Every structure is written in structure tokens, then in C-alpha cells.
Amino acid sequence: MIRVAIAGATGYTGAELVKLITGHKEAKLAAVTSQSYSGRAIQEIFPAMRGVVDLVCEPLDINAISQRVDCVFLALPHKVSMGYAPQFIENKVKVVDLSADFRFQNASAYEAAYQEHSAKSLLNEAVYGLCELYRDKIAGSNLVGNPGCYPTSVLLPLVPLVRKGLVETCGIISDSKSGVSGAGRAPSLGSHFCEVNESFKPYKIGNHRHVPEMEEVISLEANEPVSITFVPHLLPLTRGMLSTIYARVTTGTTQSMIRTALMDQYDSDTFVRVLPQGEFPDIRHVRGTNFCDIGFHLDPGSGQLILVSAIDNLLKGAAGQAVQNMNILFGLEEQTGLELFPGAL
């Protein structure tokens, strides 16, 4: 039984982790921390969990918690995570960090997008936790930088094609759309019901922090610097993310080559579903699950490829993938605790 702590349990991602670990048959939730709700019971903060979760939030005391757990999820803001991770690792607690702090190999890229990094020496040790693509590296690691939601939705369909040279690395565009839970639980005018409901808009065009994260991964896979045009949009729904990705195929690439590349990559993976030709993802079909659905359309005349992917931003885009990473770290079946059965509604 893996003993688990969740640091930052009262945000939406933290709450998803609480839910997943409570239902995980080989893990036990040993501690939950919260700065703002310290001393209060989880079921008081999230009344939905009444009678199911019986833990009280505590302050984040690294050493005390290290003695009680084997693994910690850091569901904390950027910058905060890097202050806690080194000590947990020293205490032999494996860390899955859901902030951006350990997603970059290149410290300057991180610092350009975020702020000064105070634990640069760990960047070499940290592994980028995109499970289906990097599970071998993850397995031997102690520190996983859990990918951003947008990068997960963009990289899963794209990387297998980049690896095989099937798409031009120049001119890739991702038009992405996210539900509101991606913005977190802290109230703001931007997440006010009346401002989002019956609304739809792009945001942070040209300067979203997930761009350098995607670009670093794609560039490493392509062995050349790759730039991506990325436009995120806010959907009037709670959870789910869909990316429509536009790329040009390289000369000679056919529809069946695209399909083969995706199938070769994902055929034995539970959580990535490559849809039949002519079918495309719908957020509704992955909501509440750890699936990433992928569909595509190639216009043979122009060589324009349209890739579409859908994930639940809180699961495959955050807490679900984090648990999948924990499973890999501890040698469990990847789908353990993630048997989230999809329904019609």
C-alpha cells in the first residue's frame, strides 16, 4: 500500500487527487495539506465527499509528512512547488509535481516564462511525465514534472508524427479550447458564472506559458527548434479540453501512414484512443475519465492535416495523469485507480 500525501488538496486539481487516491486500491491517502483551510475537514470544504473522506487539512510540514508517506503530489502554485520538492526528495519521498516547476529541462526557458528557478539542480533529475511517451524514464525517477493540460492535448497526437517525420515542423498551429476548471478554484471576475456562461473567447494570444513547454518537448523530439502557434479559448463548461491542431504533412505522407504512426504508438495504451477514420473527439466522451481521444483528417490535395484531441483537463490533463505517473513510479498497473467508466452523459 503506497502512502500518499496531497499538498494543496483544496484546489480543483487537489480535490480530484483526493477522489482518485481514495478510490485507489493500492494507495492510501495519509495526509492532505492546505494553507487556507488548515484544520478543516475535507468533507466540510467539499460536502460532496461527506461520509467518504475523513481527513482534516494540515499545514505542509515537510519532515513530519515525509515520515508518513511514500509519495507526495504537489498541487501547488508555480514557484511554491520548487521550494518543497528538494526536501521531500532528500527525505526519500517520491514527488509528482503538478506545477510547471519541473516540466522544463532548460532552466532559462522556464525562467523566461515564469520566474527565477531556485532548484535548478533538480531539473536534470526531473522527468517530464507524459506517461505514454516517456514511461520508461518516469519509471526510474524520483521527481516527475506532471505536464500541463494544453501540452498533454497537443503533444499526444503530435509527437508520434514528429518522431516519424510525417509532419512539417514549421507552421504548426494549435487552436485549443478549455473548460473553466482549468483556471482554478480561486474566485475572479474571469471565472464568475455570469461572465463565462453563454460566452466564448480566446485569451493570452501570443503569450501563454504552455507554449514554451510544448515547444521544448517538440523541439527535442524533432531535433530542431520548433515554434508553435497556440491560441487558447475559454469554453462555457466545467471540465474538458479539445485541441484542433493544424500541420502540413511532409511529401509522400498518406492518411494510412498517419494512422499507422498513431496506432503503433498507442495501440497497447489504455488511455489513448485513436478513433476510426471519419470520427472525431467530443469533450463529452472523455469527461470524467483519463482518456485522450484522437481523430484526424488529411486533405490529400493540400497536404493539410487536422488533428483533434480531447481530454478531461482535470484528469488526463492534471490529476489523472499524476496518478498514472505515481503508478509508473511504483511499478503498478498504469490504470490502477483510474478505472473511471465513461457513460453516455
Catalytic residues: 149
Q: Which of 201, 225, 254, 256 is the binder for its own copies (CB under 8 A)?
A: 201
Q: Which of 192, 224, 225, 277 is the binder for its own copies (CB under 8 A)?
A: 192
* C-alpha closest to that of 154 among 247, 271, 237: 247
Print the binding letters for residues 119-158 with its own copies: x by CB under 8 A, - otherwise.
Answer: ----------------------------------------
Q: CB of residue 165 vs its own copies: minimum separation in angstroms?
A: 20
Print the binding letters for residues 50-69 with its own copies: x by CB under 8 A, - otherwise.
Answer: xxx-----------------
CB 32 within 8 A of CB 58: yes
E strand or H helix at 38, and its extent?
A: none
268 counts as binding its own copies under rule CB under 8 A: no
Where does this chain touch its own copies (CB under 8 A) — which range of 29-37, 70-78, 188-196, 213-221?
A: 188-196
338 vs 20: CA distance, rounded Å = 7
* C-alpha closest to that of 9 among 52, 50, 53: 53
342 counts as binding its own copies under rule CB under 8 A: yes
88 vs 76: CA distance, rounded Å = 14
151 vs 154: CA distance, rounded Å = 5
Q: Which of 233, 250, 260, 330 is the binder for its own copies (CB under 8 A)?
A: 233
Handedness of CA 186, 15, 153, 130 (dihedral sign): positive
Q: CB of residue 87 vs its own copies: minimum separation in angstroms?
A: 28
**Grid cell 490535395 — which residue?**
301
25 counts as binding its own copies under rule CB under 8 A: no
242 counts as binding its own copies under rule CB under 8 A: yes
Q: CB of residue 208 vs its own copies: minimum separation in angstroms?
A: 12
Q: What are phi and psi of 176, to 5 degrees?
A: -115, 150
Q: How far apart are the first and last CA of the chain?
A: 33
Q: CB of residue 298 vs its own copies: minimum separation in angstroms?
A: 9
**Nearest residue (CB) to its own copies, 33 versus 66:** 33
244 counts as binding its own copies under rule CB under 8 A: yes
- Residue 202's Cβ-side half-sphere holds a number of Cα atoms within 13 Å equal to 12
Cβ neighbourhood burial of 300 (10 Å; 0-12, 13-18, 19+): exposed
CA-based diameter of the chain, in Å? 63
Q: CB of residue 154 vs its own copies: minimum separation in angstroms?
A: 14
225 counts as binding its own copies under rule CB under 8 A: no
Q: What are phi and psi of 307, to 5 degrees?
A: -105, 135
Q: CB of residue 224 vs its own copies: minimum separation in angstroms?
A: 15
Q: Which of 92, 251, 268, 345 is the binder for its own copies (CB under 8 A)?
A: 345
CA 311 to chain centre: 9
Q: Which of 23, 77, 83, 165 is the binder for its own copies (CB under 8 A)?
A: 23
Q: Residues 276 to 335: which contact its own copies by CB under 8 A?
A: 279-289, 293, 297, 299, 301-302, 304, 306, 308, 310, 314
216 vs 103: CA distance, rounded Å = 10
341 counts as binding its own copies under rule CB under 8 A: yes
